[in-house]
Amino acid sequence: MFSVTCFNIMIVVLIFNVVVIIAHPNILLIIVDDLRTTLGCYGDANAYTPNIDALAEDGIVFTEAFAQQALCAPSRNSFLTSRRPDTLRLYDFYSYWRDVVGNYTTLPEHLKNNGYTTMSIGKVFHPGISSNGSDDSPYSWTEKPFHPYTDRYKNAPVCRMVPQSKVAMNLICPVRISTMPNKTLPDLETLREARRFINEHKKNVNPFFLAVGFQKPHIPLKYPERYLKYHPIRKFKMPERYIWPDNVNNVAYNPWTDLRWRKDVAKLKLKFPWERIPEWTLSDRLKFLILCSYCLYFSLYFQLYCPLMVFLFSEKFAKQIIQSYYAAVSYIDNMIGKLIYQLHVSMIRENTIVILTSDHGWALGEHAVWSKYSNFDVAVHVPLIISIPIVTFEHNKSMRSNALHSKKHCRVTDAIVELVDIFPTIANLAGVPIPICQVINNTNAHLKNIFIQNKIPNPCSEGITLLPLIKSTLQCQSIPWKKAAFSQYPRPEIQPMLHPNSDKPRLKDINIMGYTLKTSDYRYTAWIPFVHTTCKPDWDVIIAEELYDHKTDRAEEFNIAALPEMLKTKKYLRVLLKDGWRNALPRY
């Protein structure tokens, strides 16, 4: 407890030294659904994201940021309350924390209680039971949350693979906006409403907290077709190992069930769960057979060439998925550029902090897997960019000498951070810091009863503020930071299943929990029995383990948990994982 207390004292000091420069800043939180680090500012050469890259130039880029669960509702509830999934007891979509575990204060609620006007536009909380069917209103929001009217058409049969084909509910869905219902798309409506809000509140006395949630690149991959011009399919390659690893237990596999019912995927008639998404379509196969028949007819040379033709054709369909994901990201990048431009037009960019992140990542064929629903790095690794006027950039050049960021190259940190750190960081930036949550043990068990009875709010955090890290990064210095980031994912059984759904099991069906941690050098995952009635894991039994050396294998293609020489490392990481997030905090 001493280390935690000292850490909180240090934060308060930092606020007075740094953040007081901006009195009552506006705060814009941008949440992009299912966004992995496919961004130019994260070194992805295939990305076309000029607006997000420009934001990164004015901010701090956290290259090692991680979600606490790779599923929308648990992740969003986690970082908006700064409580981890095991605290909220939400691993699916079907419980509301205020009814189930306690009246935990949210980030927007905390700011609202301290004089902020708070507004939710688009997908911020996951809609439905997990946010009480109201986006946690009236607790979190000053104004009624906005959802696009065209959300109702998100799975409408409007996709065409080729101009002559019938429309369908496809996974891959580039469209012409003029042919869409209401001649628009949900994210365009979200952008319009967010710009309206900024314009109307630019002169308000009270600062605002505006949370904007863009839906793409969440599937279906529906986006204006013009963004394909930035992503010719020839520039994409399949993962080097488009195959499920032999030495990884089946419990780690997610069978991408939400892709299988899409019309273009369903037509492929894939055998559940292991048959890979074919890298070519049925029409491609027909074209190939015709071409191959010519090969066989004309010469032996072409007979020898035919196996190569198989390989060339075999990458098309899977590459189209990758291509459309990148195109959807470019579409959202354009939305973000227009949103930030509205801050400039309204002349409030110099007083508005901008944070950009995602609820989790998304696999693009790694391990022959698509979508999220796992503990692999591609599922939990997310972008995080924080741009703070005066602190990370100067709007007025005359203020250049006062900014912390005088050394332009000190804008990126590879320190381990988590999405639960966002709430305490924003709270500190707003001048209303919150403490780290107490450990509820026998000496303060009476507090637990109070929380469960929902008698008092509980503004505390299971993350830590990032301000010390921001300051040290901008000064080109390093400080001790978290030892690890913690994530988890549930499963009903070891083998992939449709019923109950391995990807999205309900709480009553969860019998196994995969706990994972990411350190600077390794990812270690333990799959252990889980009692869904008490939400307690049984650490005495290890069903399966994974260990990946990120120094040489960031793609996590080689599980080295069984190697004798890794036994000491594995034991250390297992203890660190079991001891939990508190024991991984920096010591001050």
Residue type, 309: M
* 93 alpha carbon, distance to own chain's centre: 16
Instruction: State the chain's mean pLDDT as an integer.
Output: 89
Give the closest residue to 439 by CA, choosing from 575, 582, 579, 537.
Answer: 582
What would the pLDDT profile of 79-98 be if each residue is shown by its tens digit? 999 999 999 999 999 999 99
What would the pLDDT profile of 569-583 be if each residue is shown by its tens digit? 999 999 999 999 999
Residues 6+ positions from 258 with CB-CB distance below 8 Å: 219, 371, 503, 504
Give the closest residue to 491 by CA, choosing from 435, 455, 543, 562.
Answer: 543
pLDDT score of 14 more than 90: no
Q: CA quadruple 98, 101, 103, 104: dihedral positive or negative?
A: negative
Question: 226 vs 159, 194, 230, 469, CA distance in Å?
Answer: 15, 23, 8, 40
Neighbours of 259 (CB within 10 A): 19
Question: Which residues pair with residue 516 across a beta bridge?
Answer: 487, 525
pLDDT of residue 449: 56
Portion of the chain with pLDDT greater than 90, in percent: 80
**Residue 290: pLDDT band by 50, 70, 90 thresholds?**
low
Residues 6+ positions from 357 with CB-CB distance below 8 Å: 29, 30, 31, 32, 65, 79, 382, 383, 384, 385, 419, 422
CA neighbours within 13 Å on the CB side: how many for 567?
A: 2
Q: Which of 72, 159, 292, 295 is catalytic?
A: 72
The reply to whether 6 belongs to the active site is: no
**CATH annotation of 26-279+307-482:** 3.40.720.10
Read off the pTM. 0.91
**Which tokens in the block code for residue 505?**
């099991």
**3-state helix/strand/coil string of 570-587:** HHHHHHHHHHCHHHHCCC
pLDDT of residue 582: 97
pLDDT score of 181 more than 80: yes
Distance CA 319, CA 308 (A): 17
pLDDT score of 10 more than 50: no
CB contact at 8 A, 256 and 548: no
The reply to whether 535 belongs to the active site is: no
State the average pLDDT over residues 199-222.
96
Q: Which of 41, 110, 126, 231 is catalytic?
A: 126
Range in 301-315, 335-349, 554-568 with the lowest mean pLDDT: 301-315
What would the pLDDT profile of 553-564 be if each residue is shown by its tens digit? 999 999 999 999
**Residue 266: pLDDT band by 50, 70, 90 thresholds?**
very high
What would the pLDDT profile of 408-433 be if each residue is shown by its tens digit? 568 999 999 999 999 999 999 999 99
Give the closest residue to 555 by CA, choosing from 235, 317, 218, 243.
Answer: 243
Torsion of CA 500, 504, 508, 514, to 10 degrees: 110
